[in-house]
Structure 1
Amino acid sequence: MTTRLQPGDTAPSFTLLDADEKEVSLADYRGRRVVVYFYPAASTPGCTKQACDFRDNLAELNDAGLDVVGISPDKPAKLAKFRDKEGLTFPLLSDPDRATLEAYGAFGEKKMYGKTVTGVIRSTFVIDAEGKVEEAQYNVRATGHVAKLRKDLAV
């Protein structure tokens, strides 16, 4: 069974490469709140919808003191192509060995089309300014998720 994070837990630290192959760490966001969301694959319909929803709501989230970071197992080159095609203005990070996905409980068994498969569990976390988990949402829907998150956070 995959470990699930709970509000109040210390967020697992990470340092991953972004689409430009620059290192980005959770520690870079210390002192600010950050939304860290995990998605299965760049340029797929659901993941594109979700990323574009974050893009379209980024100004309001930033105004509320929230940064956004997306993480998937994709290589930096694929992330760069996805970012450029969709005009994404927040960091997309590459976790090819899935260590960060696993640390957050965002990789494991899930149901897909009625079958049990192993893969990325679409998940979203809000990490507070001290590095603690404020929200931990697993098995989120690609469509409508950002609106629900904004409502949950009163943004």
Structure 2
Amino acid sequence: MIELVRTTETELIERLVQLESEAFGEGGMNVWHLVPLIRHGRVYAFRKDEAVIGVVQYMLDWDNPQKAYMIGVSISQESRGQGVGAELLRDSFNALSKENIKEVELTVERNNIVAVKLYESKFGFLSTDFRPNEYGEGEDRLVMKLMLANVVN
């Protein structure tokens, strides 16, 4: 079950930062990033038995206000491979669609075969661009886009 995060309660923020750190190391979200996103973007948490086991963050594209950029998605190590990520994304796409968001864009390391396959096969994301050195030397990213009308209920 997902929830839109509206609180900056310390325990919750610490858990979200922990999930990000597990998934992305130093590239993960920290409190300085999460709090503004909670207040001004969209952060969705996935809970199982009250425990937060997943998180996804979005920000609005100012040049195209019907497009959201997915900053990142993180699933706890013990919950990976169980469909949690797909459910979190599907539910968050439905929530965004209700807010008149028509398109979601993301970037992903092109060698992250598991993520690329999930985005393409489960949701229908299309690769639209390649950005060399997006996050510094050797940190290339594949740009993927999804029209929400193709996946929402």
The TM-score, its normalising length taken from structure 1, stands at 0.30
Higher relative CO (Cα under 8 Å, sequence separation at least 6) belongs to 1
The TM-score, its normalising length taken from structure 2, stands at 0.30
> Of Structure 1 and Structure 2, which has the larger fraction of its residues in helix?
2
